[in-house]
Amino acid sequence: MLRACITGNTSSFANASALFFMKGLDMIVVQMIMLSLILLSSFTILIVVLSAFRLLTTLTRQPDGTMLGAAPPVVAKGIDIGTQAPAFTLPQVGGGMCALRDYQGQHVLLTFVHPRSETCKQFLVYLNAIADLKEPIRYSVLVISSEGVDENVRLAMDYDLAIPLLIQEGNAISRLYNVNAVPYVYVIDEEQIIRSHGYATNTEDIWNILSSLQRDRVTVL
């Protein structure tokens, strides 16, 4: 009788264990199915969103490749050649004030830059090289930058600038000269008349800007 009880208990335990195992297995299967459905739903939603975005892009793209309603590309316009260069007086990195009238009787390369622009930083290397040449240079180089004093002091120190670096408040002088892209160069003659201007990133660009000034020559590296 004891043996029968033991046998019965063992059988019940085995059945319970088997039932528990089957229930656990069922739960795992259910969870895997639910996970698969979630992943499938997410993938389907992603495909729908990408397809909708692609369709929207196609419908809103204009013949020239730009997006409908997008801002036009930035174009540096400058002000008319032959006009008087707008006067300015600005603080200079290193101390003191600098005015355009101080350069009356000289040809000036006036350049607008932004201290965080990598293109402007590289262009400053070219301008610095012009100022460092030992032979006489017929152009005085002035650079007008924006942002704060500390940022421009670091810029002057990092590039060991030998040229005057002037700081404008906001973009006040840039607006006077109609500059909306940098680096931008103006050529101003000894009577402070604008003779040439343009967007520039290297010495070749400087030569192109100076190409109309046949009677004046400047050596650049």
Q: What is the mean pLDDT of residues 105-121?
A: 92
Residues near 156 by Cβ (< 8 Å), separated by ≥ 6?
Answer: 93, 94, 165
Asked, as a colleague might, if the bond just before 183 is cis with ω within 30 of 0, I would say yes
Mean pLDDT of 88-104: 95
Q: According to the model, what pLDDT value does residue 84 have?
A: 96
pLDDT tier at 68, thresholds 50, 70, 90: very low
Q: Would the pLDDT of 96 be above 80? A: yes
Q: What is the mean pLDDT of residues 167-185?
A: 93
User: Is a pLDDT exceeding 50 seen at residue 61?
Assistant: no
- Helix extents (H) in 118-181: 118-132, 149-158, 172-176
3 or 89, higher pLDDT: 89
Task: Identify the pLDDT of residue 69.
Answer: 45
Sign of the torsion angle spanned by Cα atoms 161, 176, 91, 152: negative
Q: What is the mean pLDDT of residues 175-183?
A: 92
pLDDT at residue 201, rounded to an integer: 79
- Structure confidence by residue, pLDDT tens digits, 126-173: 888 776 655 445 788 999 999 889 999 999 999 888 899 999 988 999
Residue 193 to residue 200: CA distance in whole angstroms: 20
pTM for this structure?
A: 0.62
For the segment 186-211, what is each residue's pLDDT rounded down to a tens digit?
A: 999 999 999 989 988 777 787 777 66
Q: Determine the Cα–Cα distance for residues 138 and 106; give it in Å rounded to an integer.
A: 8
